[in-house]
């Protein structure tokens, strides 16, 4: 069985990476915040079943998590937390426990419970963002298959770009028509980000025959580090910072793609 989300619910976007430590969760938090500020209802699922940290990044302290839902001890509405956004709707966050082996190997019964729970809580949402773990693992691939589109986050470092391309190649071989967007994060300069993006686009075109969309280039920004320390999204705390502006533009591009 494969996890599937019914098309009448929120737009489902999975955010992933080939390599860990590339700032994927910051991208998720930034996009979710940008849409909340635009008046959209946003649900975020922390699907990093090995090293969940979205709740920490947003200053939340969950008493219950997705683990309790899958064990049948709680329903999804009882574990969801609201992450406040200045002057906007809050973001509904589904937290996950870290280091729980069972969550990384969902059997068909647990997949069905997860699917039904998400469909219920997302019935009136505009967006569902799934923050996956890094790398090519069974649980990650199931979440990517369930999403309507995928964002791959990479830094300009060669190892990160290589792992991002490996993820892109796997997705293309499995679902060649699924929209995949690339984000270059934590670039030291626009030139560095552009060069990295061009390398990925050229590789995708040459080896896969795929036109790769670059959703955004996020610069290295001290405001982002400060926002992490204060457990807020940089789009919320420093909306006019270089990173905050870049993430806001990415959200606009994502919404434009939906309208198109």
Q: What percent of the chain has pLDDT over 70?
A: 93
1, part of any domain? no
223, part of any domain? yes
- Confidence label for 258 from pLDDT (cuts 50, 70 and 90): low
8, part of any domain? no
Residue 222, Cβ neighbours under 10 Å: how many? 11
Domains held by the chain: number: 1
- Domain containing 161 equals 14-259
Residue 1, Cβ neighbours under 10 Å: how many? 12
Query: Model confidence over 152-176: pLDDT tens digits?
Result: 999 999 999 999 999 999 999 999 9
> pTM for the complete prediction?
0.93
pLDDT in the model for residue 259 = 43
122, part of any domain? yes
Q: How many residues does the chain have?
A: 260
Tokens of 8: 């009448």
- Confidence label for 48 from pLDDT (cuts 50, 70 and 90): confident
Top pLDDT among 43 and 135 is at: 43
32, part of any domain? yes
CATH of the domain at 214: 3.40.50.300
4, part of any domain? no
44, part of any domain? yes
Q: How far apart are CA 93 and CA 179, in angstroms?
A: 24
Query: Model confidence over 85-102: pLDDT tens digits?
Result: 998 889 999 999 876 655
63-72 per-residue burial string, b: 16 or more CB within 10 A, e: under 16: ebbbbbbbee
9, part of any domain? no
Query: Model confidence over 230-245: pLDDT tens digits?
Result: 999 999 999 999 999 9
**Which of 42-51, 142-151, 192-201 holds the top average pLDDT?**
192-201
């Amino acid at each position: 069985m494969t996890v599937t989300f019914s098309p009448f619910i929120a737009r489902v976007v999975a955010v992933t990476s080939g390599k860990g430590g590339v700032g994927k969760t910051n991208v998720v938090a930034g996009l979710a915040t940008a849409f909340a500020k635009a008046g959209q209802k946003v649900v975020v699922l922390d699907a990093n079943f090995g090293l969940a940290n979205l709740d920490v990044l947003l200053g939340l302290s969950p008493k219950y998590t997705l683990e309790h839902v899958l064990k049948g001890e709680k329903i999804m509405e009882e574990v969801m937390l609201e992450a406040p956004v200045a002057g906007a709707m809050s973001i509904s966050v589904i937290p996950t426990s870290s280091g729980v082996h069972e969550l990384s190997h969902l059997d068909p019964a647990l997949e069905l419970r997860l699917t039904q729970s998400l469909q219920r809580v997302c019935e009136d949402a505009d967006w569902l963002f799934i923050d996956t773990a890094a790398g090519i693992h069974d649980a990650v691939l199931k979440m990517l298959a369930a999403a309507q589109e995928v964002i791959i986050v990479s830094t300009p470092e060669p190892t990160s770009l290589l792992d991002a391309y490996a993820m892109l190649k796997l997705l293309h071989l499995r679902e060649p028509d699924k929209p995949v967007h690339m984000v270059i994060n934590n670039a030291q300069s626009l030139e560095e980000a552009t060069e990295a993006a061009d390398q990925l686009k050229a590789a995708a075109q040459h080896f896969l025959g795929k036109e790769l969309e670059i959703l955004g280039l996020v610069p290295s920004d001290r405001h982002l580090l400060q926002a992490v320390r204060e457990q807020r999204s940089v789009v919320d705390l420093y909306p006019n910072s270089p990173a905050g502006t870049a993430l806001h533009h990415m959200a606009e591009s994502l919404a434009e793609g939906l309208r198109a």
